[in-house]
Amino acid sequence: MKYPELSEVDTLGYEELKVVLRNLRQRPVRRSELVVRCGERVMNTSGLGQEKWAILEQVAIASLDIMHFALAEECLAMLATNFGPDGKRVSRLRGMVLEAKGLYDEAVKVYNKILEAHPSDRQSTWRKVAILKAQKKHDEAVREIEKQLSTVAITAEEGYLELLNMHVLNEKPEYGKAVTACEELILQDPTNYAWLMLYAELLYTIAAQDGGSGRKPSLLLSRKYYSESILNNDGSNNTRSVWGLLQTCRTVAPLLSTPSEKEENTNLRSWAETRLKSLYNKVEGSHAGYSLTVSK
Amino acid sequence: MSSHSISLSPASFGKMYLHCFKYASRAVSGLLVGKSVGGVVYVADVLPLFHTYTQLCPMVEVGIAHAQEWAKDNGMRVVGYYAASAGLDDRPAPTKFTENVMKSISSEGESIVIQVLNDKIRADISEIPYKFFSASDLKTGRTAESGICKIQYLADGALCNLGDSMAPFERLRLAVKEDQTKLLVDFEEHLEDVNLDFTGSALTKFLTENVAPLE
């Protein structure tokens, strides 16, 4: 989906702006400045119908993302006037304003009050986790997610994905725990090529750190999962898995001993090299030349 | 040997910044391409790598291979790695992963790590938002202090100052204002669409326009 450039927003009509905002609500794309620029032009016009409240909420959250607190509070005031100050979504937005300003203790009180009345409110649960992350309380955030995974507050997919991200992006990554989280993701959706690719990358990374006997089995398993990812998506948007397959074949090659192991590895490597060559031969630009050289 | 200063081309200075600006809420990483000039590491260009899962090995290794080919084609080598953490107030410090990346790079010659100072990334930028460490600083744990980063050009084998030292900042402010971050393509984006050019020649041209060496 193509979105307008920021410089094009002033040339768009109201109906076009509403379509842009609607598309940005429906797809999880973070384009906060675009939302604010479009929203500022339409939010005070008539003719928005029932979309008005969704637009105000959307613009408020985007405003917080770019620290435009005045606009966020203006939207919040309009929503509170229509829905009352204590409704679930208005309260949650009020909590997000406090959170964006760094007033974490007050924000947590707001979210806790929402959760007393609505214990399975997913978004308030995640806001509390976000506050723990912002406060650099990594271990507490992990414990909170693990606790919520046994409730209906958050879905398994989003919970395990967040756990995986936290373990990998930590200053001291915990790849073993990330692997466990990724396995849960694959159990949820065994044909998702992205989870399969991620699992392969985690295994490769673990192998890279292992100077001992665990290196070869991790690399072979990584090779297998890159292959599974390609089997589930052999489109050009999964070129990363083809590169991963080639890299794994190259890295594991010196560790193989039997003729059958070497033959299988050679066949997989040849396949990956051929696939990359056919992809990059169709690409214009000098960068393709570097990729072709690296893939040989 | 520890260097007390490094030199950045206007393009490399701008591209690292725009990589952070484009993915403002994420950790980003990339490779530095350049050469040693009179004992000073000169960063001629950068290859932005990732904006998600910056600490996974396989694609970093593939990225290094690409950077080495690109560098060799331009008479350069891979001189280091840059990284920015996700949080605004994160204390910048090279991680264990960074040290491992540097082991893959250091064999080519003197190398550096550039760590981005997130609280200095702003639309009205007027100071260099980076600190650097040499590979030997990493090994000895001397990461508390940093030397001087200068923005310079390489001409006839020598580093030369700019005619207008604020010109790179003005181009960068213009790049932000005109939403030129779309010209910044990292290796991760390239892996999703191989037609996207990670060498960023169009962005280099934009960032170096009207940024001339001192005559």
- Chain B residues within 8 A of A237 when measuring between CB atoms: 192-193
Confidence band of A152 (pLDDT split at 50, 70, 90): confident
Question: Half-sphere exposure of residue A26, counting CA atoms within 13 Å on the CB side?
Answer: 8
- Secondary structure of chain A: what % helix, strand, coil (to 5)? 75, 0, 25
The whole-number pLDDT of residue B144 equals 58
| For residue B109, pLDDT beyond 90 | no
Residues of chain B with pLDDT > 70: what percent? 95
Question: Are the CB atoms for B5 and B148 separated by under 8 Å?
Answer: yes
The whole-number pLDDT of residue B55 equals 92
Helix H or strand E encompassing B154: strand B153-155
Mean pLDDT over A78-82 rounds to 93
Question: What pLDDT digit, counting tens, does each position of B162-204 carry?
Answer: 888 899 999 999 998 888 888 999 999 999 999 999 999 999 9
In this structure, the dihedral spanned by the alpha carbons of residues A6, A9, A15 and A16, taken in order and rounded to 10 degrees, is -50
Distance from A208 to chain B by nearest Cα, in Å?
7
Is A243's Cβ below 8 Å from some Cβ in B? yes
Test the B interface: residue of A282, A284, A286, A290 with most B CBs within 10 Å: A290
- Chain B residues within 8 A of A243 when measuring between CB atoms: 58-59, 62, 191
The residue among A192 and B213 whose pLDDT is bigger is A192
**Number of neighbours of residue A14 by Cβ within 10 angstroms:** 13
The whole-number pLDDT of residue B145 equals 63
Confidence band of A172 (pLDDT split at 50, 70, 90): confident
**Nearest by CB to A290, which of B66, B86, B179?**
B66
The whole-number pLDDT of residue B104 equals 84
The residue among B213 and B144 whose pLDDT is bigger is B213
Closest-approach residue (CA) in chain B for A287: B197
Distance from A156 to chain B by nearest Cα, in Å?
20
The whole-number pLDDT of residue B3 equals 53
- Structure tokens belonging to residue B43: 């960063």
Residues of chain A with pLDDT > 70: what percent? 100
Mean pLDDT over B107-124 rounds to 86
- Chain A residues within 8 A of B62 when measuring between CB atoms: 243-244, 247, 294
- Chain A residues within 8 A of B57 when measuring between CB atoms: 201, 204-205, 208
Mean pLDDT over A181-193 rounds to 96
Mean pLDDT over B61-82 rounds to 95
The whole-number pLDDT of residue A37 equals 93
Question: What pLDDT digit, counting tens, does each position of A86-136 carry?
Answer: 999 999 999 999 999 999 999 999 999 999 999 889 999 999 999 999 998
**Nearest by CB to B58, which of A237, A248, A285?**
A248
- Secondary structure of chain B: what % helix, strand, coil (to 5)? 40, 25, 35
| For residue B205, pLDDT beyond 50 | yes
For chain B, how many helices (H) and strands (E)?
Answer: 7, 9
**Separation CA A169–CA B85 (nearest Å):** 9
Contact assignment for A7 to B178 by CB distance below 8 Å: yes
3-state SS assignment for residue B149: strand
Question: What pLDDT digit, counting tens, does each position of A239-285 carry?
Answer: 999 999 999 999 999 999 999 999 999 999 999 999 999 999 999 98
CA angle A31, A35, A39 (to 5 degrees): 180
Contact assignment for B195 to A283 by CB distance below 8 Å: yes
| CB contact set of A180 (below 8 Å; sequence gap of 6+) | none
The whole-number pLDDT of residue B124 equals 85
The whole-number pLDDT of residue B2 equals 47
- Chain A residues within 8 A of B70 when measuring between CB atoms: 287, 290
The whole-number pLDDT of residue A68 equals 93
The whole-number pLDDT of residue B212 equals 84
**Separation CA A55–CA A39 (nearest Å):** 7
Test the A interface: residue of B45, B76, B191, B199 with most A CBs within 10 Å: B191
Mean pLDDT over A142-166 rounds to 90
Q: What is the pTM of this model?
A: 0.90
Question: Which residues 253-282 of chain A have a CB within 8 Å of chain B?
Answer: 279-280
The whole-number pLDDT of residue A151 equals 83
A57-71, B66-80, B113-127: least confident range: B113-127
